[in-house]
Structure 1
Amino acid sequence: MRALTATALGVFLLDQASKVFVLYGLGLAHRLAIDVVPPFLNLRMAWNRGLNFGLFSNETDVMRWVFVGVALAVSVWVVLWARSQPGQVAVQLAAGALVGGALGNALDRVVYGAVADFLNMSCCGINNPFAFNIADVGVFAGAIGLVLFAGRHKTP
């Protein structure tokens, strides 16, 4: 459980620190766009009130709290489930990344009313219109890690 806790805390703190730096240090909330290494890496301010890619977004405050509740419930479930997987460090790391990312985005919803997305990457003539954040990377990498590593040590 130490690996899960350390990873969750690391992803959460990295996510929140990056948001504070980008929003307040660089002033992206007011500037809205900063080209870092175009087109490969740009900072584009986007307030996501929905799920991935703005899915289920609306302006009602109810959905904000529903998403916070879902993130907390999923995080608790993942931690409880991961406790039943002793000795599988890869599973603990993946679960920690997912939980840290989910809690980072949940805190955004509580503090800002929406998730602060700001990373935008494009390549090879493809213009990506979407933005994401470190928490999103944690959730995605954690989910993929759980799919790949969970259940690998079960006896037939």
Structure 2
Amino acid sequence: MKLSRRTIFISITILITVLLDQVSKIMVRKYVDPKSVSDIIGSILTLHNVENTGAFLGMGSDLNPTLKLILLLILPVVVLGFVLRYVFKDKSLDNWSLFAFASIIGGGIANVYDRFAYGSVTDFLHLDFGGSLRTGIFNMADLSVTTGMIILVFASFKKKKEKEA
């Protein structure tokens, strides 16, 4: 069976996303003391080593084990499966949308793997531009998911504009 360029593009994007995330987390777990804070770019970008047992910003970390299993492992796997199926079935997706969806899928796979393998997700980057302009502590998988979502928003505006023209 010959793989299409599209399938190879999607697969490589997912693989690179997962690898970058997992390698960065391995390095953080090995070389950064837990709960430490190190400046990378002044106090704007800092490096941490935090284990997040919940989801976004630790939400759900207090759930009972059964709900955690359902909401943080089973449900994400099901959703990722549906998104992956959609990406392979919808031949009308442009390259930017394919890249965005593959980044989201790769980031999701990487974080689900951590929850399965370690019981938590290692987060290590924090942006603080002062005041309320700051992020929670995040990782490369989170960055991939967020970047993918931003690209999808722009791609949808572009498609809408093209339809109107």
What TM-score does the superposition give when structure 2 sets the normalisation length? 0.80
1:124 & 1:48 partners in 2: Cα distance?
Answer: 24
Q: CA separation of 1:93/1:18 partners in 2, compared to 1, >3 Å: closer, same or farther?
A: same
Please point out which of 39, 42, 49 is paired with 2:46.
42
CA 1:3 to 1:125, structure 2 compared with 1: closer, same or farther past 3 Å? same
Q: 1:113 to 1:64 in 2, by over 3 A?
A: farther
1:107-122 equivalence runs, <5 A:
107-122=113-128
**Rg comparison, structure with higher value:** 2
Deviation at 1:10, TM superposition (A): 0.7
Q: Identify the match of residue 159 of structure 2 among 127, 143, 152.
A: 152
Gaps of 5+ in 2: 1-6
Post-superposition offset of 1:155: 7.0
RMSD between aligned residues: 2.5
Runs of 4+ in 1 over 4 A off after TM superposition: 124-127, 153-156
Q: CA deviation at 1:59?
A: 5.5
Deviations 1:67-121 (A, max 9, x none): 1112211211111111233252111101110001001111111122111111011
Structure 1 position 73 matched with structure 2 position 74: no
> Normalization by structure 1: what TM-score?
0.84
Q: Distance in 1 between matches of 2:28 and 2:136?
A: 17
Percent identical among aligned pairs is: 26
Tell me the equivalent position of 1:6: 12
- Structure 2 residue aligned with 1:130: 136
User: What is the one-letter code of the residue matched to 2:32?
Assistant: G
Q: Which runs of 5+ in 1 are unaligned?
A: none
Instruction: Work out whether 1:53 is the aligned partner of 2:71.
Output: no
Secondary structure at the aligned position of 1:101 is classed as helix
CA distance in 1 between partners of 2:55 and 2:41 (Å): 27
